[in-house]
Structure 1
Amino acid sequence: MRRISTTLFCLALIGSANAQSINAGDSPVSPTKPFIAKEVARFNTPWAIAVLPDAQMLITEKPGKIFLVDPNGHKTPVSNVPAVAAEGQNGLLDIAVSPGFATSRDIYFTYSEPGASGSSLVLSRAKLVTSKDKAALENKQIIWRQTPAGGGGQSGGIIAFDPNGKQLYLTVGDRMRPETAQDPDQARGKLLRLNLDGSIPADNPHADKGGVRGETFTTGHRNPYGLAFAPDGKLWLHEMGPRGGDELNLIKADGNYGWPLVSNGDNYSGKPIPRHSTRPEFIAPALYWTPVIAPAGLVFYQGDMFPKWSDSALIGGLAATALVRVSFDAKGNAREADRWDMEARIRDVAVAPDGAVWLIEDDSDGRLWRLTPRKM
């Protein structure tokens, strides 16, 4: 019998039955904002924020650039970024700071790699080297590549590190090929769990099978653009539904979340999809949104500036043009607590060491905002 890691064991035991999903789609806009949003810089279609230990940030632009940005908005371009297939939803995607960054200077990033048969989602690792007014990626290494190539948007590509700092989780969307989400041999519609070098952890649910099956932690996802560990060690993922049915899911080892066999939304053609309630063998979301918010970016707040938000999830809303706060009760049940209208498509959310919240706008002239408390 394989030894099961503490984190994996805990995830596997979180609840044996699905609680009833809550529809937060019609949640009202909060009447007041407890923060001031200050514009700090602008970018060409920014996609992700990674905060460094010294409070600087790495920000990706979907067309294929990375910038090192200080809290005052000074931008230093990062050189030696690989070429990306930037079209539609594809391009340069997420970026994350390695758990051992203080000594290794390693960062991880995802992108759509160009290819003759179409693009592939790629996970790369590189060393961030900086000097005065210069920054570059060195020792670039592709540690995971999606095969076969091809498909549409909905790449996923979100990275999260296990609290033990020894594994990473990677979301992979269905690339607009819904049937692949239930195919165990297709790296599409899955949440993968990998060692930091891209190899398969020995305690993955099906590690002994190798390949995609060995890498897979959960299956049945559509378009996952948010992934984060909560302070209590639970892993949460959100994904965009079709026409309705955006989801916030509590991740359970070896779980199947049902796409495309079930959804709380319907196909864009109008063809209905069976609801989660009709197929209890699939894990239903803790929260869902109909009408959709198009969630993008996910972080759990811990900091001194907004103590009332402690342990809440902050989610960007593209369609909702909002910042959404989700709170959790003592039993771990989720509810939408606030929805602040930002009058802009919010692509990613991050928390700085000082407790300030950073947002980026999904636009060709997308703004970077710093949120600090408003005196009430």
Structure 2
Amino acid sequence: MKPHLLTVACATALLAVFSSGCRAQDERAQDKKALPFVVTEMGQFQEPWAMTFLPDGRLLVSEKKGALKLVALGATPAANKVGDVSGLPVVAYGGQGGFGDVVPHPQFARDGLVYVSYAEAGEDGLRGAAVARAKLVLDDKGGGALRDLAVIWRQVPKVSGEGHYGHRIAFGPDGKLWITSSERQKFTPAQDMQSNLGKIIRLNDDGSVPADNPFAKDGGVAAQVWSLGHRNALGIAFDAQGRLWENEMGPKGGDELNLIERGRNYGYPVVSNGDHYDGRDIPDHSTRPEFEAPKASWNPVISPAGLVIYSGKTFADWQGDAFIGGLSSKSLVRIEFDGTRAREAARYDMGERIREVEQGPDGNLWLLQDQKDGSGGKLLKLSPAG
């Protein structure tokens, strides 16, 4: 058989395709390198999970094994002054469990109260998330202690396993305490109102239930619930209009960004834009319009973690945008909003897992980077390029 001969036209066409592919690869490589911000390493921590800025500009950083650091930031990591905060609760470390979020009370400058979340051991090897509040008493050595620590909320029931605690916490414009309570990889509790798993929780700052919660008249743990049908919710933030946004990990596909509304059901595990890990199909949101669909979803997944909605002036073009830390995607994802609509506007390759995102008092963005094997993590500052 004679070898196939390329015509000039075919050869030219193939060369054009090859050149186009090379150009696309070059553009992607340039985009990967050309981040619109300068990344500065500002400290190292062991399995950092959350952070929050205090009114005086110092930073609290939680470490998953059960430590809380107070950081007075310097111009370089070597100039940082890092102190330990004692008086922490005993945490059930393992899997996705351990010490979690840390958030100051809106009136912290007056009352000194902070709120922490963590995985808590129960009887017979069962575990669940808990939220406690305490007074942060600072010392003259750059550290401090949590005093009069009291648990004000727990996941009900405690269950087996070490996954899907959620336990992100935030205060809303209404002064209420909001908690993400994931479904602990048990699926059906997300639809069970006798359980507070797979729910968004709304409480008064002392842990009591607001009388205007949508299910307050039902009593029990149902009274705590603001919305239901959630999987693994790891980000929560309010926008300038007071709307609550939440991101959660889907199963095999179907990560979600949701606009959280009073009393609504978000469908898991009845619907999802992903499927079960064993290959079983889950009907898509579009098949069940009675459930609230996500405003944005991802497949392949980004593995969303921390969430912040930017309100500063340092990145003026990004005012009102959301930023999501990506774990498996090792990225920072920027979201643009149009009213109640949302879309991914950009994805920045950060090279490592991004666990937490915060806005600093300087208007810069601050990230916590962690390692999947728990070997360490970094505090990163993002400032405008040029």
In the superposition, the TM-score normalised over structure 1's length comes to 0.90
Q: Does 2:119 align with 1:112? A: yes
What is the aligned residue count? 346
Pairwise CA distance, 1:367: 0.5
* Larger RCO of the pair (alpha carbons < 8 Å, separation 6+): 1
On the 8 A contact 2:64/2:98 being kept in 1, the answer is: yes
Deviates most, 71-80 or 319-328: 71-80
Per-residue CA deviations over 1:240-288 (Å, capped at 9, x if unaligned) read 0000000000011000000000000000001110000000000000000
Q: Cα offset for 1:169?
A: 0.9
Name the structure 2 match of 1:372. Answer: 383
Q: State yes or no: 1:155 paired with 2:155.
A: no
What is the CA distance between 1:71 and its match in structure 2? 2.1
Deviation (angstroms), 1:53 = 1.3
Give the aligned partner of residue 21 of structure 2: none
One-letter amino acid of the structure 1 residue matched with residue 172 of structure 2: D
For the 8 Å contact 2:259–2:340, the answer to whether it is kept is no
Q: CA deviation at 1:164?
A: 2.6
1:305 aligns with 2:307: no
Q: 1:43 aligns with which of 36, 42, 45?
A: 45
The structure whose Rg is larger is 2
Cross-structure match for 1:123: 131
State the 1:352 CA deviation.
Answer: 0.8
Counterpart pick for 2:369 among 340, 361, 365: 361
Helix, strand or coil at the partner of 1:277: helix
Whose helix fraction is larger, Structure 1's or Structure 2's? 2
Cα distance in 2 between the residues matched to 1:151 and 1:246: 24
Q: Distance in 2 between matches of 1:221 and 1:151?
A: 19
SS of equivalent residue, structure 2 residue 123: coil
Out of 331-340 and 92-101, give the one that drifted further.
331-340
Post-superposition CA distance 1:140-178 (Å, at most 9, x none): 01001223212321001011111032x111110000100
The within-5 A match list for 1:1-376 is 30-31=31-32, 32-72=34-74, 73-117=80-124, 118-133=126-141, 134-152=143-161, 153-165=163-175, 167-329=176-338, 331-363=339-371, 364-375=375-386
Distance in 1, matches of 2:168 and 2:159, equals 19
State how far apart, in whole Å, the 1-side matches of 2:332 and 2:380 are: 12
Matched position secondary structure for 1:221: coil
Unaligned runs of 5+ in 2: 1-27, 75-79
How far 1:74 moved relative to its partner?
A: 2.4
Tell me, yes or no, if the aligned pair for 1:357 and 1:372 is still in contact at 8 Å.
yes
Separation in 1 of the partners of 2:329 and 2:58?
Answer: 28
The answer to whether the 8 A contact 1:62-1:86 is kept is yes
Which amino acid in the other structure matches residue 122 of structure 2? G
Structure 1 residue 332, shift from structure 2 partner: 2.9
Q: Aligned letter for 2:117?
A: T
Distance 2:63 2:209 in 1: 30
**Structure 1: tracts of 5 or more residues without a match:** 1-27
